[in-house]
Copies of this chain bind each other. A is one copy, B any other.
Amino acid sequence: MESVKSQSYDVHINELAEASLNQHVANRDYSKIFVLVDENTKTHCLPLFKKIFQHPIDAILEIQSGEENKHIHTCLQLWEDLSNLGGDRKSLLLNLGGGVLTDMGGFVASTFKRGIDFINIPTTLLSMVDASIGGKTGVDLGSLKNQIGVINQPEMVLIFPEFLKTLDPRQITSGYAEMLKHGLIQDKAYWKDLTEKGGFTDASCIQRSIAIKNSVVLQDPTEKGLRKILNFGHTLGHAIESYCLDNPDKKTLLHGEAIAAGMVLEGYLSHELRGLSKLSLDEIKKGFSKYFDKVDFTPDDIEAILQLLKYDKKNSHGNVNFVLLQSIGEAVTDVKIPEELFHRAFAYYKE
């Protein structure tokens, strides 16, 4: 399958991923090669990776999976491990895992001795179609997501859809949300294909999603303008995700599950403020309901989620800026929302 060219690196899929990785390492004089895994990818992905990778691995670093471990203390442990294991500026870190692991491993590599090379090998559908492109690295600060980080590009990103076979179905569905988003913000035909034909885990759909995200990021690497459209569903989605993670009474939501709710809510705001038709709004709600259970929000939950919005890192000057849809496939940025509309959006979501 054809590779997708990003800024300073390429995204390679299947056979080409294997060949490119081995070629890259053969061409470089890396002093040490480290592989970062979590308890899941150690069991389910590392054996396959070891078959693919033709070079010696100096050490396997292991972290605990889960958003709750995506904080600076895990980074500190990894920096100490790299240092104790003799990592130096010419070391390479291979990040084998989902978005939490690749975000955190990318940040650790970007800051260890002011930056060593890293390669991302996403193992979840969500990280293949989202975290793999764009160079965002980082960790959470308390319950605030991705507050600490840098933008820095990997040497390459490698996609092996084979890894998806080992995933829990809920993890797969979580990835659908970002793929559906790619259709909603940029490509109506892709939205139609996904919601009508499915095929999310086919290499061709994964590549299509990567190509959409990549074309947006290439036009605006530092998120000054266009790139903001990738945040559709994420402003409310992040607040929902943070709130559920932090609240022992709520079921923890996967990222895709939270932003799926966020996209229906922000779809409603789009209808109210940017002329998204009622037909399209209902189509969006129906499209997500095929794959995602409705989240149950109490009035207290909604209040707490709206409070959290104020801390979202994309907000500036205390205002909350939203990405909305004018139509399916066409997004607009920097929309301010009157407070009362949020309550109506949650009411529509509940209907």
Contacts and interface: CB of A to CB of B under 8 A. Distances in A.
Interface of A: 31, 72, 75-76, 79-80, 83, 86, 88-90, 110-115, 136, 138, 141-142, 144, 146-152, 311, 313-318
Contact of A86 (B79, B141, B148, B318): B318
Contact of A90 (B31, B83, B317): B317
A151 B76 CA distance: 19
A72 B83 contact: no
A115 B110 CA distance: 13
A37 to B, nearest CB: 22
Given A150-B150, A318-B86, A113 B79 contact: no
Given A115-B150, A150-B111, A311-B83, A317 B31 contact: yes
Q: Is the interface of A mostly helix, strand, loop or mixed?
A: mixed
A83 B114 contact: no
Contacts of A318: 31, 86, 88
Nearest to A144: B83
Given A79-B141, A141-B79, A110 B316 contact: no
Contact of A113 (B86, B112, B313): B313
A31 B310 CA distance: 14
A83 B141 contact: yes
Contact of A148 (B90, B112, B141, B313): B112
22 contacts: A31-B316, A72-B75, A79-B141, A79-B147, A79-B148, A83-B141, A83-B142, A83-B311, A86-B318, A88-B315, A89-B313, A89-B314, A90-B317, A111-B111, A111-B149, A112-B147, A114-B136, A114-B138, A114-B146, A114-B149, A150-B150, A150-B152
A79 B147 CA distance: 8
Contacts of A86: 318
Contacts of A31: 316-318
Q: Closest 9 CB pairs between A and B?
A: A113-B313, A31-B317, A114-B149, A90-B316, A88-B316, A111-B148, A114-B151, A79-B141, A31-B316
A214 B319 CA distance: 40
A313 B141 CA distance: 27
Given A31-B316, A138-B114, A147 B83 contact: yes
Contact of A110 (B72, B144, B150): B150
Contacts of A72: 72, 75-76
A75 B111 CA distance: 13
Given A72-B76, A316-B90, A317-B31, A115 B311 contact: no
Given A111-B138, A112-B147, A113-B147, 20 more contacts: A31-B317, A31-B318, A72-B72, A72-B75, A80-B142, A86-B318, A88-B315, A89-B316, A90-B316, A90-B317, A110-B150, A111-B111, A111-B150, A113-B149, A114-B138, A114-B149, A114-B151, A114-B313, A115-B150, A150-B150
